[in-house]
Structure 1
Amino acid sequence: MTETTFGALGVPSALVSVLEANGKTSAFPIQVDTLPDTLNGRDVLGRGKTGSGKTLAFSIPMVARLGGALAGGKRRSGRPLGLVLAPTRELATQITNVIEPLADAYGLKVTTIFGGVSQQRQVAALKAGVDIVVACPGRLEDLMKQGFATLDAIEITVLDEADHMADLGFLPVVTRILDKTPQNGQRLLFSATLDNGVDKLVKRFLHNEVLHSVDEATSHVADMTHHLFEVDGVDAKKVLIEKLASGTGRRILFMRTKHHAKKLAKQLTESGIPAVDLHGNLSQPQRDRNLAAFSEGTAKVLVATDVAARGVHVDNIELVIHVDPPAEHKAYLHRSGRTARAGSTGDVVTLMLPTQKKDTLALLRKAAIDVQPERVTADSASVNALVGQVAAYVKPSPKQEQPRGGGSSQGANAQRKRAARDGAGSGQPRRDRSGRPASATGSDSTRSGRPAASSDSARSGQARRGASQGGQGSHAPRTRQGGTTSYSTSSPGAAAPAGGQRRAGRRAQG
């Protein structure tokens, strides 16, 4: 097969130099197909398998167009020229990482906008003036409503993973955002499928578009090898998981629930296999920290929910393990697509119990995966072949010491200091870094990353603090507000809540 260079596709020499410096000398099929049209300003509907190189396929024409548009022009506050919409924070971050080296060649400024973090830095970037915004729809619409962002100067808009946007219920927000962009702007839409309303977006916002479908929507990466392992019971499955996670290469283990992802990461780490978790209960700084540990190799195992099924691109992931088979076949394909990316090879393992066999086989048929089940144990030859060289045992960090006398842990001491600093125990609501009451953050996690709901020591700490104040405080029952567990002290004579009732927020879904 003849390789096509980026220069031959019409990519400007400044960007060709950046790509070559990053080891990218020849284009992938989706880039070969789409770049001639996108560089010429055409609207494009692109469909390619995960890991096919579509992020670069839309980043190159965006930077090439805006680099020329800004020449001799003036950057305006709150009025970006390019917009990329992505369904998840992780995907938005990955896209930004691809765009920035290209944007630097023209002196373009890029900023990322998503929820889960303070908007202060995002607002400051918009006010200072940015050229390209990579955003999740919810936070961007919030900033638009507050008057910090205006889209009337947008020249090129990209909607990435449109089908996932639909799955997450974002299409109404996306529609409102796209309505604010100029009708004559260039628009690029990438999606694995055109169902769930994606086709309506195409009809409404793309004009005289060119369709490029490099492969079928259900196709899977040819360089993936799929394995279906059947185990006899839960205990045998637990041993097998630890064995599969013990290799030297990077691997991602997918779980159905946040709770089980966190639990498995902890169990593996305690067994000498450094692992980090990634799921919706983590704050954005925690997600960033765990992804950095996985990317840098401090942890070779990432235990994740479907939040990592799209948008997480780390080089050389050699194995994806469906510890819990996903609910539907599209999730299987996207999870599996974390390996065998951009021309590399990889293995995908699905674990199933006998009771899951019927549903799992049906799932794989829908995903067009032809693989025969194999009954295995942790010592089976096929398992050993996948594991390869076993990584050295890594002693887990010492557990937090319990003070003599059965008191609270060091973590509780730190928690009490934070509570004292933030006004807890003085009748004032505990506040997060942005100054908002912690009950409004919607986070189950303390700043240390542990769920506040699991800290019995915090309760004893509150009681001791009340006692140290001359016996004036008494510990009140804990309440849940917006997913955050809070503790309060009350003084004799303090007004009780009306009717003696406390409103309880629902526990975040696992």
Structure 2
Amino acid sequence: MGRKIKDVTSSGGEEDRKIKRKRKLEEEEAQINGEVEETPDVSASKKLEKKKKKKDKKNGKEEGATQLGSEQELKNGAELSEGVGEEKKKKKKESDGDKGGEEKKSYGGVVVSGKNSGDSKYAPLNSFADSKLPDNVLECCKGFDKPSPIQAHAWPFLLDNRDFIGIAQTGSGKTLAFGIPAIMHVLGKRKGDNSRRVNPICLFLSPTRELAQQIADVLCDAGKSCGVKSACFYGGTSKGPQLSALRSGIDLVIATPGRLKDLIEMGKCHLQDVSFVVLDEADRMLDMGFEQDVRSILSQTNSDRQMVMFSATWPMEVHQLANEFMDPNPIKVVVGSEDLAANHDVMQIVEVLEENTRDRRLVALLDKYHEAQRNRVIVFVLYQKEGDRVERMLQGRGLNVVAIHAGKPQSTRTKSLAMFKTGTCPLLIATDVAARGLDIPDVEVVINYSFPLTTEDYVHRIGRTGRAGKKGVAHTFFTKENKGLAGELVNVLREANQIIPPDLVKFGTHVKKKESKLYGAHFREITADAPKSTKITFADSDDE
């Protein structure tokens, strides 16, 4: 209690002294400013004058210091601002220099962008004659009236040795879009060089054996009239004929990444002369886990190569690959849209049902769509064993059916696909090895017995029908096991103005963000009204 009284008393005395000191300073201030009469006391007057000078001097220093500080701050700020401005100008100048007049133009449903893409010499072709290509090179195009949109826009850039990105759906004429420029590239390399060439000049990488073989068929036919030789390398078959082709000398190599890497490691295939590289279905190639093989193969090619990438979609992984191996500003041609969209010539019917009812429903649909057993129908399944089981089930019901999947020998796959194409066996059971790139004419109906693992694969599956301007039907079974993809499927149906079944909407319309294949989802949704983050400072932290 005594200590508390002492504190109060001490506090009160201190307060009195402060009040007296304040009053004294106010009086002196008033005298210095002339607010009170000067006293006749000379000493007092001198004292006040001295204090006034002292104060003026002090205020002057402070004012000067403040002014100097402000000027310095302004100067520093100006310099900083100027520095930032100059840095921005420098970066913009460098960027503009890199872009070199980058433009973006739209031609109906085709968008073209890239360095100098608007130059008149890159105007899209209206006819094959506009390309000014030799007749023997255009021999393979005689069955067409004019170049397809992707060909019309791609050829001017590719023939000018530009790095190129093409985004277009399958069935759009992509093979000749990059095949004709590749043939011209070979013919250009031959000028003045009559020596026998052993190593290939052009390389085409494909994700599947069937697509590789299809590209090879087109390029072999296109190259016959001008003496350009092609060879196709893929796994599941003997290496003997492939090694023989390499020894005889070839101009174009079409290959799947796995088999080509084997031939390179054997020391039988040398790519140092390859100066024209095409990655077809690049998104699918990376989805199938070929990224490391692709990188390894590209590192073997000529560093001064022309890079061409074709893809139906443009995910981040493909974008990063393009940034690494292409010029900073390649030409990019998008036919249609980069976003996931289905062919509008395909009528999409989605049916939500129980998994154990699919066999019965499949048979009923085949009675409806494949009644005469003459029209081509593809039934897509998800797994190899599922494909074998469905094949046996349909054969047991008397249907003429063949199946292809990665577990079957390549000879069987090739034979089955040939029978389906010719119509000898017009009913095909297939996994997603047949979902992309295959140009099979007159497929009237696609039935998705199992929904694929991604909506992208769904779009590619149903793209096997409704080709070349014809109409098609895609009938899809959707079960509760697929509910995580319901939102994406609803968006695809809505974009194509298709009927959205109420049972599908019941699963929800939420669309999941893409996840890393290695690390899963590495993000967290943040709502708009979430509280702001606060900084935590620990007692022993050096941070202020």
What TM-score does the superposition give when structure 1 sets the normalisation length?
A: 0.69
Q: Tell me: CA distance 1:210–1:373, structure 2 relative to 1, closer, same or farther (3 Å).
A: closer
1:110-130 Cα offsets, whole Å, 9 max, x none, are 100111111111111101111
Aligned to 1:322: 448
Aligned to 1:372: 499
SS in 1 for 2:349: strand
Distance in 1, Cα, partners of 2:469 & 2:194: 40
CA contact (8 A) 1:261 1:305 kept: yes
Structure 1 stretches of 4+ with a deviation exceeding 6 A read none
Aligned to 2:231: 111
Q: Tell me: CA distance 1:360–1:294, structure 2 relative to 1, closer, same or farther (3 Å).
A: same
Aligned AA (2:429): V
Taking every aligned residue pair, what percent have the same amino acid on both sides?
A: 33
Aligned to 1:346: 472
Pick aligned residue for 2:461 from 326, 335, 339: 335
Deviation at 1:134, TM superposition (A): 0.2
Unaligned runs of 5+ in 2: 1-107, 109-123, 504-544
Q: Tell me: CA distance 1:206–1:266, structure 2 relative to 1, closer, same or farther (3 Å).
A: same
Deviation at 1:25, TM superposition (A): 2.5
CA contact (8 A) 1:167 1:196 kept: no
Distance in 2, Cα, partners of 1:298 & 1:328: 32
Pick aligned residue for 1:267 from 393, 397, 400: 393
Q: After the TM superposition, which of the residue ranges 5-14 and 362-371 deviates more from structure 2?
A: 362-371
Distance in 2, Cα, partners of 1:162 & 1:28: 21
Q: Tell me: CA distance 1:311–1:292, structure 2 relative to 1, closer, same or farther (3 Å).
A: same
1:327-365 Cα offsets, whole Å, 9 max, x none, are 211010111111122333222111235x46845642412
Distance in 1, Cα, partners of 2:257 & 2:452: 26
Aligned AA (1:278): I
Q: After the TM superposition, which of the residue ranges 192-201 and 285-294 deviates more from structure 2?
A: 192-201
Specify which structure has the higher proportion of helix. Answer: 2
SS in 2 for 1:197: helix
CA contact (8 A) 1:352 1:360 kept: no
Aligned AA (1:292): A
Q: After the TM superposition, which of the residue ranges 230-239 and 148-157 deviates more from structure 2?
A: 230-239
State the Cα RMSD in Å: 2.3
- Whose radius of gyration is greater, 1 or 2? 2
Distance in 1, Cα, partners of 2:223 & 2:168: 24
The answer as to 2:381 corresponding to 1:220 is no
1:135-193 Cα offsets, whole Å, 9 max, x none, are 11111111111111111111211111111111011111111111111121211111223
Aligned AA (1:331): D
Q: Tell me: CA distance 1:220–1:9, structure 2 relative to 1, closer, same or farther (3 Å).
A: farther
What TM-score does the superposition give when structure 2 sets the normalisation length?
A: 0.65
Aligned to 1:42: 162
Q: Tell me: CA distance 1:11–1:222, structure 2 relative to 1, closer, same or farther (3 Å).
A: farther
Q: Tell me: CA distance 1:3–1:46, structure 2 relative to 1, closer, same or farther (3 Å).
A: closer
Distance in 1, Cα, partners of 2:255 & 2:359: 43
Pick aligned residue for 2:376 from 250, 257, 260: 250
SS in 2 for 1:350: strand
SS in 2 for 1:13: coil
Distance in 2, Cα, partners of 1:130 & 1:3: 30
Deviation at 1:3, TM superposition (A): 9.1
CA contact (8 A) 1:162 1:198 kept: yes
The answer as to 2:196 corresponding to 1:69 is no
CA contact (8 A) 2:167 2:314 kept: no
Pick aligned residue for 2:130 from 2, 8, 18: 8
1:24-63 Cα offsets, whole Å, 9 max, x none, are 2211111111111111211111111222211111011101
Distance in 2, Cα, partners of 1:115 & 1:25: 37
Aligned AA (1:364): L
Distance in 1, Cα, partners of 2:342 & 2:361: 26
CA contact (8 A) 2:125 2:131 kept: no
Q: After the TM superposition, which of the residue ranges 334-343 and 233-242 deviates more from structure 2?
A: 233-242
Deviation at 1:316, TM superposition (A): 0.8
Aligned to 1:362: 487
Distance in 2, Cα, partners of 1:65 & 1:228: 46
Aligned to 2:319: 199
Distance in 1, Cα, partners of 2:453 & 2:242: 35
Unaligned runs of 5+ in 1: 377-510
Distance in 2, Cα, partners of 1:375 & 1:334: 24
Deviation at 1:229, TM superposition (A): 3.0
1:59-92 Cα offsets, whole Å, 9 max, x none, are 1110122123235533333x10110011110110
Distance in 1, Cα, partners of 2:501 & 2:132: 49
Aligned AA (1:313): D
- The aligned runs of 1:73-472 (5 Å cut-off) are 73-77=194-198, 79-207=199-327, 208-217=329-338, 218-231=340-353, 233-234=357-358, 236-243=360-367, 244-247=369-372, 248-353=374-479, 355=480, 358-359=483-484, 361-367=486-492, 368-373=495-500
Deviation at 1:224, TM superposition (A): 1.6
Deviation at 1:235, TM superposition (A): 5.7
Aligned residues: 372
